Structure 1
Amino acid sequence: MIDKHSPIPIYYQIEEFLKEKIVSKQYEVDQAIPSERELSEVFGVSRMTIRQALNDLVTEGYLYREKGKGTFVAAQKIEQPLHEVTGFSEDMLKRGMVPATRIIQFGETDADKQIAAYLKINEHDPIYKIERLRLADERPIALEHTYVPVHLVPNLTEDIVKESFYSYVEQHLQLEISHAEQTIEAGLANSKQASLLEISQGSPVLFIQQLTCLTNEQPIEWVRSTYRADRYKFHVNMKR
């Protein structure tokens, strides 16, 4: 399991050994891992060495601790590449996860000045206002507020937005989505966000705004999302 004669620190070898068990799902999410005492006996090292390895895994988000109960396997972060426009359902299916959507609010309203400016429509034009909780494998990931011009997507229903909005736009309406712009910033969850995302108030979250456009540069949606920072991370491929 570990090589005590290796130049690689023993705590790091243990860390990598446990990480492999987590990634390969030999340790399931929310499963308690063996205690420091048990692990020290298994590896034949001090509890201080075990503690260092576990502390690193907690910091990296592979484990979490509950006071008085032990150390448990954390749900792994979902990595989202930022070089392509994909919908939430598409992302989750690609990762072998089961996407789900809980509709909190759905209906038509008039666009205010800010939303009209983003969507390049007139103030008071009709829009769909959609609030959705996004889940992967039954665990909440993000809270979304979406605004869509009614004239571009007529007859939109709750059933459609529960599935894949992008698929409906491209396959049913025959509209081509071209590109999107995103802004991402860190923040803290308020009481409503915390309750829906099943985290503590004040927990770190990612606030994301996305404007998605068709090939003619007409925006088809503006989305304000709140993502759990402990469940999501973004990947950017940059070239010089």
Structure 2
Amino acid sequence: MMTSSRSPLEPRAALHRVIGDELRARITDGRLPIGAALPSEAELCREFSVSRGPVRQALAALRAEGIIAGGQGAVAHVVGSVPTQSMTSFLSFSEWAQSTQRRPGQRTVELAKRAATEDVAAALSVPVGELVVEIIRVRLLDEVPVMVERTSFTLEAGRHLFDFDTDSGSIFAHLKGNGVELVAARHTFDAVAAEGIDAEMLDVPSGSPLLRERRITSTGAGVPVEYSDDRYVPGQVTFTINNTAASGSSVVRLVPDQ
């Protein structure tokens, strides 16, 4: 039986990531093929010398990624392979732009702690008025403004932005490097008109149509940490959605318009 290589000094909060990474490795290399049952919670607790909490968090993360199904009374089993594109690389505008041979850029308009509005509080599951970290940036492709990004983070996650140059690159990469868990996201798409400051920042006429993506990003345990309202110039960026019937999951990718 494989045992965890975790150091005794590793923070308890990281235990579920150790377990999740090990299970992903077994799924990737075929030790746990599609259809195979995972070890029971009790077996995983013994193997990793942990309580049930970290085990359940790890399994919840794998379920959120569409890799396993079942659990919580039913036998957990593998239903999909580990995605080749990580959640972070999708959510990171900078990494996506570089992968398409475009030059990403950003201009920070504002970074501040603010009281959560009703919409932000509902998205982040915090009380109205609780302090959150809000950032507004204009995102660029080859120096052309293509998106206005308005993002709110829980205070615990967003506090790391105050020691980061938000004009230098990917916020998500910086947060991940500081241990912020960004595992699953729910996306809502619609169309809105460019008004006021949005039209000015994107250099489009007032009333022009914009593609809006609203996103709630959560930890593996389903705790929301980020809410974003992103507004794209439709002549510059489109979205492609790929569905996988076997796992019931979807992968959404940004696609540059030619």
Shorter-chain TM-score: what band? Answer: 0.5 to 0.7
- Residue 105 of structure 1 aligns with which residue? 110
Alpha-carbon distance in structure 1 between the residues aligned to 2:163 and 2:108 = 7
Which residue among 152, 155, 165 is the counterpart of 1:150?
A: 155
The residue type paired with residue 145 of structure 1 is R
- Residue 199 of structure 1 aligns with which residue? 204
Contact 2:105 2:140 in 1 (8 A): yes
Q: Shift of residue 158 of structure 1?
A: 7.3
Alpha-carbon distance in structure 2 between the residues aligned to 1:116 and 1:188 = 24
- Residue 96 of structure 2 aligns with which residue? 91
Which residue among 122, 125, 128 is the counterpart of 2:133?
A: 128
RMSD: 2.1
- Residue 168 of structure 1 aligns with which residue? 174
Alpha-carbon distance in structure 2 between the residues aligned to 1:106 and 1:112 = 16
Count of residues in correspondence between the two structures: 158
The residue type paired with residue 109 of structure 1 is R
Q: Shift of residue 83 of structure 1?
A: 9.9
Alpha-carbon distance in structure 2 between the residues aligned to 1:229 and 1:213 = 27
Structure 2 residue runs without a partner (length 5+): 1-84, 246-258
Contact 2:139 2:149 in 1 (8 A): yes
Which residue among 115, 121, 128 is the counterpart of 1:116?
A: 121
Contact 1:127 1:150 in 2 (8 A): yes
Q: Shift of residue 208 of structure 1?
A: 1.4
Q: Shift of residue 201 of structure 1?
A: 1.7
The residue type paired with residue 238 of structure 1 is N
Structure 1 segments, 4+ long, off by >6 Å, are none
Q: Shift of residue 218 of structure 1?
A: 1.4
Which residue among 213, 216, 240 is the counterpart of 1:235?
A: 240
- Residue 37 of structure 2 aligns with which residue? none
For residues 1-240 of structure 1, what are the structure 2 equivalents within 5 Å? 85-157=90-162, 159-162=164-167, 163-171=169-177, 173-239=178-244
- 1:180-215 deviations in Å (ceiling 9; x for gaps): 111111232113222211112222210111111111
The residue type paired with residue 156 of structure 1 is L
- 1:78-121 deviations in Å (ceiling 9; x for gaps): xxxx9954211111111111111111111111112321121122
Q: TM (normalized to structure 2)?
A: 0.57
Alpha-carbon distance in structure 2 between the residues aligned to 1:201 and 1:104 = 19
- Residue 50 of structure 2 aligns with which residue? none
Q: TM (normalized to structure 1)?
A: 0.61
| Rg (Cα) greater in structure | 1
Alpha-carbon distance in structure 1 between the residues aligned to 2:137 and 2:143 = 14
Alpha-carbon distance in structure 2 between the residues aligned to 1:114 and 1:233 = 26
Q: Shift of residue 170 of structure 1?
A: 1.2
Structure 1 residue runs without a partner (length 5+): 1-81
Q: Shift of residue 239 of structure 1?
A: 4.6
Contact 1:103 1:158 in 2 (8 A): no
Contact 2:148 2:230 in 1 (8 A): yes
Alpha-carbon distance in structure 1 between the residues aligned to 2:244 and 2:181 = 27
**Distance change in 2, residues 1:131/1:234 (3 Å):** same
The residue type paired with residue 230 of structure 1 is G
SS in structure 1 opposite 2:172?
A: helix
SS in structure 2 opposite 1:177?
A: coil
